[in-house]
Amino acid sequence: MTSPPRTAVRMALAGGLLALAGCSQAPKPVATAPDVDWPFYGGDAGGQRYSTAAQITPANVTGLKVAWTYSTGELVRHAKDIKHASFENTPILAGGRLYVCSQFDAVSAVDPATGKPLWSYDPGVDPKVRYPNDFSCRGVTYWRDPLVADNVRCSERVYVGTVDRRLIALDAATGAPCAGFGKAGVVDIGAGVVLEHKGQMQMTSPPVVAKDTLIVGSSLDDNQRVREITGAVRAYDVRTGAAKWSFDPLGSAAPGTVAGAANTWAPLSVDVARGLVFIPTSSPSPDFYGAQRRGPDGQANSVVALDASTGRLVWSFQTTHHDIWDYDVPAQPTLGDVAFGGRMTPAVIQGTKQGLIFTLARETGKPVIPVDERPVPQGGAPGEVLSPTQPFPRLPRALGPATISPDSAYGIGPIGKSACRKLIAGARFGGMYTPPSTQGTLIYPFTGGGVNWGGLAFDAGRQVVYVNTSNAVHKVTLIPADKVKATQRAEMGKEVSPQAGAPYGMKREVLLSPLGLPCNPPPWGQLHAIDMRTGKVLWEVPLGTTRDLAPGSQFLLHNTGTPNFGGPIATRSGLVFIGAAMDNDLRAFDAATGRELWRGRLPAGGQATPMTYVWKGRQYVVIAAGGHAKTDTRRGDTVIAFALPGPLM
C-alpha cells in the first residue's frame, strides 16, 4: 500500500560536492543542440523516461561537470526533521522554468541554465506529524490553459499534492496560489474522510492532467487495521478544483468483503489521445492476512485503465491475486508502442515488486506477451483462502532470483554465513507466494524488491526497456492479536503492526547477517536491459557499491550492487542515467552494453530519478540529492545539474 519498509542498514556518507577529475586543457567546444523539455514527471504523459536529447553521448559523457547547484533550504529550515524525509523529486522543465518540490512540499522555480531561484512557495506542512512514507514529494505537474491568453495569471499552473492531503494550484510565473481553484488555491482531498491519526493519509506522487481533469491518488498507512479507509482515486476540475469523480478499486469486490485501501500511491499515466488514465493499485488492508476479504479483491494489485473524464472502468489486469505479501503495483505504468513478435501494439509496460514485467494491450488490457497462471504454495494461516495460482509473464524472465535455501546463505566469513543459514532454515519458504505464518515466512523477492516506484525507461526506437531492481529477503511473522502489544514493547525499533480486526498482527524484518549485509547472495541491486521485440534480457549489471554503507568495504565486496530507490532515464544518444543506489553517485551506462561510462559524485544520497533537458543549446542532466529516510542515506537538499563545460558553437 505504500513505498518499501525501512531497512536495518545504516550508512555513513562523506560530504562535499565532487566532480570527476578533468584534464588541465581548456574544454572542447560543444555543438549546440535543439532545445528539449522534460514537461512531465516521467518525461512524457506516458512515463517513458526517454529524451531525444543527444548532445551528451557515450563518446563524451566522461567530460560531464557540475554546471550548477540549487539548495531548497530544507536542510536549515527542517534540520530536526529531515531525518524523517526522502528527497525523491524529479524536476520538470516546462514553460521556460525548472520546477522542483522539496521533501516538505515546498515548490521552487529555478533558471534552467544557472539554477538561480525565480520564486518559491512553502505550503507550511507540520513537521511534527509523522507519516508512514515520511516527508517526500516525487514531483509536480505543469498545465497550460488553452482557453486563457498568455501572461494572464494562472494561465500556466503548477500543481502539487502535499503530505497533509492538500492539492494546491500555483501560478507558474510567480508561485502565487490560483484563487479560482478550490478555496484560495487549495483543495482538501481528505475532505469527509475520517482519519484515526493525522498521518494516516498523504500524497507522495504528482497528480496528472487529462484535458480538463486533474487526477490524484494517495498513500495510506500499512498493516494497521482491517477496516482501513478507502483507497479511492479522485478527480477534480483542473480549473476550479470542483470534484468530478472517484474510483474505489475495491468497489467491485465480493459482497460482504471487509477491507479498505488498495490505494494508488505510485505515479499515474495518461493516454491523452484515447482519453485514458492508468492507475497502479496496491494491496487491500491489511497486507499479510486476508481471510476477511475472500476472493480476488476487485481491482486491487492491478493495472487499471479508466475513462479520464468520467472515472468509468475500461479494463483492469491483476498482477497478484488475493495479495497477502504486500506486492503492490509500485510504479508508474509506462505507455509505449511495443514490437513484440513483429507486430507493433500500443501497450502498457508494468514492472512489479516480484521482478516481473507485464506487457498489456493499452486498449483492452489483454497480454501482448502471454501470461500463464501457475500453481503457487498453499497452506495459509487459519481462515485464509489463497488463490491457487498467480500470473507470470512468459517473457521476460523474472529479473532476479525467487528461491533461497540455507545452502545459498551469504555471509562474510564462517560466522556470518552460519548466522544467515540459521535464519533461513528457521523460517518457512516454499518459493514465491509462500503465505505468511506464525513460524515466520520468507518473502522473496522482498516487499521493497524487484521494481519499485522509480519505474522503468523505454526507448521506443531501439525497443529496449531499462529497469533497475532490488534483491533482498523479508521475514514476515504473524503474531496472535493478544500478543502484539507485548511484542511491540519487547522489540522496539522493529516493524510490528497490529492489523487490528484480524486475528494476527505482523512483524516484518529484512534478513541480515551480523554485519548488516543481506543474507541472500548478491547482487543486491541491478540494472537490466530488455529487448521488447523478443522479451529477452540483453544485459544486466550490478548497480551501486557499498563504499558509503561502510567506507572501505568496496575493496572486500565486489559487484554486489545495493538495494536502490529511484529509476533510470534513457537518451537518444545511447545513454542510461541513474542514481538510486545506496551510494552518493549518479551514473551513466552505455545503453548498448551496460558498461558504466561515467560516475558523478553527489553531496548526499541520490535516491531519486534524474531528468535531462536541452536549454539554449546545452544539455543538462539533473538529479535531486537529499538522501532517503528508509535507507538512512545522507540527507541534503541539493538539486545538481551536470553538463559538458565547453563553449557552445
3-class DSSP assignment, residue 489: helix
pTM metric for this prediction: 0.95
- Which three three-digit cell numbers place residue 257? 468483503
The pLDDT of residue 26: 74
The pLDDT of residue 485: 97
CB atoms inside a 10 Å sphere around CB 21: 5
**E strand or H helix at 77:** helix 74-77
**Pairwise CA distance, residues 132 & 501, whole Å:** 20
**Pairwise CA distance, residues 639 & 143, whole Å:** 23
- Which three three-digit cell numbers place residue 531? 529487448
3-class DSSP assignment, residue 123: coil
Stretch 437-450: mean pLDDT? 96
The pLDDT of residue 256: 64
The pLDDT of residue 296: 86
- Which three three-digit cell numbers place residue 313? 472502468
- Which three three-digit cell numbers place residue 251? 468497489
**Pairwise CA distance, residues 43 & 609, whole Å:** 11
Query: Which DSSP string corresponds to 321-363?
Result: SS--S-----SPPEEEEE-GGG--EEEEEEE-TTS-EEEEETT
- Which three three-digit cell numbers place residue 87? 528527497
- Which three three-digit cell numbers place residue 55? 548532445
Instruction: Look at residues 275, 332, 282 and name the one whose alpha carbon lies nearest to residue 302.
Output: 282
**Pairwise CA distance, residues 610 & 411, whole Å:** 33
Q: Which ranges in 500-542 belong to alpha helices (H)? A: none
Question: Does 21 score more than 60 pLDDT?
Answer: no
Instruction: Look at residues 578, 564, 642 and name the one whose alpha carbon lies nearest to residue 11.
Output: 564
What are the two backbone dihedrals, phi and then psi, of residue 540, each rounded to the nearest 5 degrees?
-150, 140
- Contact present, 386 and 436 (Cβ < 8 Å): no
The pLDDT of residue 254: 64
| Residue in the block written with cell 503492490 | 328
The pLDDT of residue 13: 27
> If DSSP states are collapsed to H, E and C, what string results for 361-425?
ECCCCCECCCEEEEECCCCCCCCCCCCCEEEEECCCCCCCCCCCCHHHCCCCHHHHHHHHHHHHH
**E strand or H helix at 624:** strand 618-625
Q: How far apart are the first and last CA of the chain?
A: 50
Stretch 380-406: mean pLDDT? 96
pLDDT in tens, 79-97: 999 999 999 999 999 999 9
The pLDDT of residue 144: 98
pLDDT in tens, 217-267: 999 988 899 999 999 999 999 999 999 999 999 987 766 677 789 999 999
Question: Does 197 score more than 80 pLDDT?
Answer: yes
- Contact present, 35 and 617 (Cβ < 8 Å): yes
CB atoms inside a 10 Å sphere around CB 32: 13
**E strand or H helix at 233:** strand 233-237
Residue 112: cis peptide before it, omega within 30 degrees of 0: no
| Domains of the chain with bracketed CATH | 50-643 (2.140.10.10)
| Residue in the block written with cell 507493433 | 344
pLDDT in tens, 472-502: 999 999 999 999 999 999 999 899 999 999 9
- CA gyration radius, the chain: 23
- Which three three-digit cell numbers place residue 35? 532545445
Over pLDDT 90: what percentage of the chain? 88
- Helix and strand numbers (H, E) in the chain are 3, 42
3-class DSSP assignment, residue 619: strand
Instruction: Look at residues 221, 383, 248 and name the one whose alpha carbon lies nearest to residue 304.
Output: 248
Question: Does 146 score more than 50 pLDDT?
Answer: yes
- Up-side HSE of residue 423: CA atoms within 13 Å toward CB? 27
Instruction: Look at residues 630, 553, 610 and name the one whose alpha carbon lies nearest to residue 56.
Output: 610
Task: Name the region of 105 (left: φ>0; alpha: ψ -120 to 50; beta: rest).
Answer: left
The pLDDT of residue 211: 96
Stretch 151-172: mean pLDDT? 97
3-class DSSP assignment, residue 74: helix
Instruction: Look at residues 288, 300, 209, 291 and name the one whose alpha carbon lies nearest to residue 260.
Output: 300
Catalytic site residue from 134, 221, 271, 326: 326
pLDDT in tens, 558-596: 899 999 999 999 999 999 999 999 999 999 999 999 999
Instruction: Look at residues 633, 610, 436, 608 and name the one whose alpha carbon lies nearest to residue 547.
Output: 633
* Bridge partners (DSSP) listed for residue 128: none
Strands 618-625 and 638-643: antiparallel
- Contact present, 604 and 579 (Cβ < 8 Å): no
What are the two backbone dihedrals, phi and then psi, of residue 489, each rounded to the nearest 5 degrees?
-70, -40
Instruction: Look at residues 544, 618, 601 and name the one whose alpha carbon lies nearest to residue 34.
Output: 618
pLDDT in tens, 330-353: 999 999 999 999 999 999 999 999
- Which three three-digit cell numbers place residue 477? 511473522
Distance of alpha carbon 623 from the chain centroid: 15
What are the two backbone dihedrals, phi and then psi, of residue 465, each rounded to the nearest 5 degrees?
-95, 135
Burial of 378 (0-12, 13-18, 19+ CB in 10 A): middle
Stretch 462-470: mean pLDDT? 98
- Up-side HSE of residue 112: CA atoms within 13 Å toward CB? 25
* Bridge partners (DSSP) listed for residue 55: none
User: What average pLDDT is seen over the chain?
Assistant: 93
Stretch 181-197: mean pLDDT? 94
Question: Does 5 score more than 80 pLDDT?
Answer: no
- Residue 326 is a catalytic residue: yes
**Pairwise CA distance, residues 348 & 345, whole Å:** 10
Stretch 274-302: mean pLDDT? 94
**E strand or H helix at 508:** strand 504-510
